[in-house]
Structure 1
Amino acid sequence: MGQVHLERRDGVAVLTVDSVEVKNGLTPEMGRQLAALCDEVDADASLGAAVVRGAGGTFCSGADRRRWRPGADQAEDATYQEAGAVYGAFMRVGTLAVPTIAAVRGAAVGAGINLMLATDLRVVATNARIMAGFLRIGLHPGGGFFTIAGRTAGREATAAMGLFSEEIDGSRAEQIGLAWRAVPDEDVEEIAFELAAQPAKDPALARQAVRSFRTELGPPGLAWDAALHFERATQMWSQRRRGSS
């Protein structure tokens, strides 16, 4: 079963999603583990930045489909709580007390794009595959996708990805403002660490600065937590509907 690992490097927390057999698909247990590791990062005042990455050259392919229950009652307590554990992990990354960078190689799909968008900054491989893809498989977007995509890429790109299932590569992500830099695959993590090293030099200042950043430039419209719950019922409906088709 997959794991999430925490490593500390010169004031930078490295959070690695590791379930390479399913291209780092997320389980509810991994969501809870990621949230718990974020608590560890926040409690460690020596850390001034965090890099989120995937093991084996892939960022995150979405939810682990081995745990999907299409057609099941999505309002049933256990099923509802399991999906909430994955969604809660995105938000927990987004509320880390330190500046965060996603180092995106390979695929960031479905839940993976939400994890990528939860960070403050993104460094992506030029050949990365970035796709929401929810409607393509008969699901309503979840995790507050429209809110967290819209604050970064704007309305047009969010519509293209969220409503029309457009897939983009890293180069296109940089062009539309979805990523800060698109670089060769082998350079992604090194450049992400170089960027993270700057705020990590002064963790106390980094934590104050990122709090101001998010407060002043937070997503417009619905707050992220409100967007997550606003989408939830419709996504549950789409999961149940998908299983009966």
Structure 2
Amino acid sequence: MSYIYRDRNDAGRQLATLLTAYANQPQTLVLALPRGGVPVAYEIAHQLQLPLDVFLVRKLGVPGQEELAMGAIASGGIRVLNEDVVEHLHIPGLVIEEATRREQRELERRERLYRANAPPPIFADRTILLVDDGLATGASMRAAIQAIKHQHAAHLAVAVPVAAMPTCFLLQSEVDRLVCAQTPEPFYGVGYWYQDFAQTSDEQVRELLALNRQELREHAT
């Protein structure tokens, strides 16, 4: 098979070349979906000299088929359901509610871990560049988009290295700009197009956020 990207960092560096219009804009924030989106977003923030933060979204996996999303939740109390999956598999409401409670606990744990209890950034009147390592069903990204819209960002762009074409088509009207760098057919899945798709750890997320803050301080002096 032919990989598109060596790893998430390689994907981020390639994706950054499509986003140069955002470079050095003081009101622009690169926002990553943890954990896999963080190495991609770090490289974009590094290349464009922009601040990096995270936006927490948790997929609601179908019981027994956890990779299949029946929906997602995001910071701010937002929940998006994949109605086609829910209806096709006849998933009861009680199952959805239990998954929501479980993932909400994990979302809150990660909020504390990644930010060390620091407040989340303000999105109002800013340009938000929302990044993940790829899009399959898009449930997590849709939840993030809705949550950020509630906070009145001035401009919301979504950028991913690889995505399913139908998902890109569906998201196109929901954001100000959508960059899907590669839309291979057949799609197979996000990880299929990476040579190294090892799981990103919580510690790696914290290290990349700290490294971005350090780089911005050094650049400012």
Q: TM-score under structure 1 normalisation?
A: 0.28
Higher helix share: 1
Higher strand share: 2
Q: TM-score under structure 2 normalisation?
A: 0.31
Pick 1 or 2: higher relative contact order, CA cutoff 8 A, min separation 6. 2
